[in-house]
Amino acid sequence: MSVYDDKVWRSHYREQDLAPRSIEFETALDMFAATAARNPGADLIRYFDGSITAGELDELTDAFAVGILDLGFTPGDRAVVYAQNIPQFVIAQLGIWKAGGIAVSANPMYRSRELAEILVDSGATVLVAMQSLYRDVAQEALRDNKTAVRTVITTSELEYQTANSGTLAGVEKIDCPDTVDLATMLAKYRGQRPPEVDLTADSVAFLTYTSGTTGPPKGAMTTHRNVVFNAQTYRDWVGVDSDDVILGVAPLFHITGLIAHIALAELTGAPLVLMYRMDPADTIATIAREKATFTVGSITVFIALMNVPDIDPASLKTLSKIYSGGAPIPPSTIAEFQQRFGHYIHNVYGLTETTSPSHAVPFGVTAPSDEETGATSVGIPVYDTVVRIVDEQGNDLPAGQVGELVTAGPQVVAGYWNKPEATAKGIPNGVLHTGDVGYMDADGWFYIVDRKKDQINTSGFKVWPREVEDVLYEHPSVREAAVVGVPDSYRGETVKAFVSLRPGTEATPEELIDHCKTRMAAYKYPREVVVMGDIPKTATGKLLRRELRTVAQ
């Protein structure tokens, strides 16, 4: 049976206590409070030439909570945070918890239609947005009045630093009428403390939206227990402590950024280095300046770093604790990175629904590769986690046979927001049916070999083909559309579309790409469009994506 056994770890790697691990704090808020009390004067966030200590962050988040409560927010309400990797993201998240609310992270690449979807679905009453995102996207998303948003708080990426360099060069503050300025609100309420809130381990900490294989985005209900457990997992699995420096290359809205960056910093007291947006050259300079030691990022991040001209290997000398997840890692990339910089990239695997890691390569251990496919193992299940490989009927399969990964553990989310049927189907009795297909070898290593459905994984982001097809159908010339994922050496997979046109109309591939580009997040729109006479279908009219993938490759 393909169930991880701790004897695998003990016989192959090193002795380690794998007894059930206690969850050290009731809530993620308690986790942060302990860190702030332990060392209030230590930096917890670094942002270009600015920094925020743990004690200052405690004060700022108190002020945020008091401010939104004064504006009508009530415990249990949801607040959407729509921003890049800036300190205000962390301030808002902690402040929302201190007000007794649920934080909802929104991808800053969302366009208005996508943002409106999660505003409506979550029922959020507050939106915290970067000024540029409010001006360019959020205003339109709020215009139809279908959301429950009563308060919009805007902020500038120029706050909390004075360098105005790197990715901030040329950025200017923007006037946003009829919104609450975050800096002004924090100054007004600084020094005040919010009332105590009744949060428990089972309270929902945040909603993280995932586009599944079977429908529109679903809000995964990540509990405080989930957050604390997997923050501890990263701390103990890798050995991160307050002497480390966490490099924030993963987007903070993503489950990796939420746990491996924010929550880990809040647990350990290790400073989190934020860079607004990831630029390869700036990232290398930041690693060297801040002496960053740990990060988790998509493999495309490390490929981008290797492609920076004339890079000095010594710039990455301190970055010795490296993990990568979200997309397949080519063994050749791991080997090249290690040869050039002396550091091994460890694989980690998880989903939004597993609050980041369910599997990881043990730190300091080299993962094996599948002899037939060359795929690198995603590791072994982390603490207290049982993963089964099952067939279509749910029967356990022996080692070496391919089936669906089914995961149980303290990191599995409570369900999907307001979607009991989806919860019952995807997470019955708290056990996650991942939809990912793979196998476990005789030594307990797991490999992902395919997806159960048609979901596309590009640079660690999930894309639902139907969503891209729906946007293509909005073009007046499109008669039929089918979208598939095709292999891409940089992104892992990229989006490719096949369309047929209405009789008497014309549209070039470039026109259709631009049509999608203006309506979707950058990772979603197709990089290639093929115009064809008819799209292959089954006798019942179902589009044959499998055949299209063969043609595409």
In this structure, what token pair is assigned to residue 92?
A: 């808002």
d(CA 205, CA 221): 8
Backbone angles phi, psi at 323, to 5 degrees: -130, 150
> What does the pLDDT read at residue 91?
98
CA 103 to chain centroid, in Å, comes to 14
403-433 per-position pLDDT tens digit: 999 999 999 999 999 999 999 999 999 999 9
- How are the residues of the chain apportioned to helix, strand and coil, as percentages rounded to the nearest 5? 35, 25, 40
In this structure, what token pair is assigned to residue 146?
A: 């279908």
72 and 125 in contact (C-beta within 8 Å)?
yes
**Dihedral through CA 144, CA 148, CA 153, CA 157, nearest 10?**
-70
Buried b or exposed e, range 337-362, using 16+ CB within 10 angstroms:
beeebebbbbbbbbbbbbbbbbbbbb
| Distance (Å) of CA 90 to CA 87, 184, 431, 432, 502 | 5, 17, 30, 28, 49
Contacts of residue 487, Cβ cutoff 8 Å, sequence gap at least 6: 493, 553
d(CA 82, CA 69): 19
d(CA 434, CA 440): 15
Provide the residue count of the chain. 553
d(CA 48, CA 161): 6
d(CA 238, CA 234): 6
Q: List, in order of start, the domains of the chain with CATH numbers.
A: 52-199 (3.40.50.980), 456-552 (3.30.300.30)
113 and 471 in contact (C-beta within 8 Å)?
no
| Distance (Å) of CA 223 to CA 4, 58, 117, 127 | 25, 21, 22, 21
d(CA 127, CA 374): 45
> In DSSP terms, which residues pair with 429 in a beta bridge?
none
> What does the pLDDT read at residue 451?
62
Query: Is residue 383 classed as helix, strand or coil in its secondary structure?
Result: coil
Q: Pick out the chain residues at pLDDT < 50.
A: 1-19, 212-214, 538-541
d(CA 212, CA 497): 19
320-362 per-position pLDDT tens digit: 999 998 766 778 789 889 999 999 999 999 999 999 999 999 9
d(CA 48, CA 165): 8
Q: Which pTM does this prediction carry?
A: 0.85
Residue 218: half-sphere exposure toward Cβ, Cα within 13 Å: 24
Contacts of residue 202, Cβ cutoff 8 Å, sequence gap at least 6: 223, 224, 225, 414
d(CA 32, CA 138): 30
Name the H helices within 427-507: 465-473
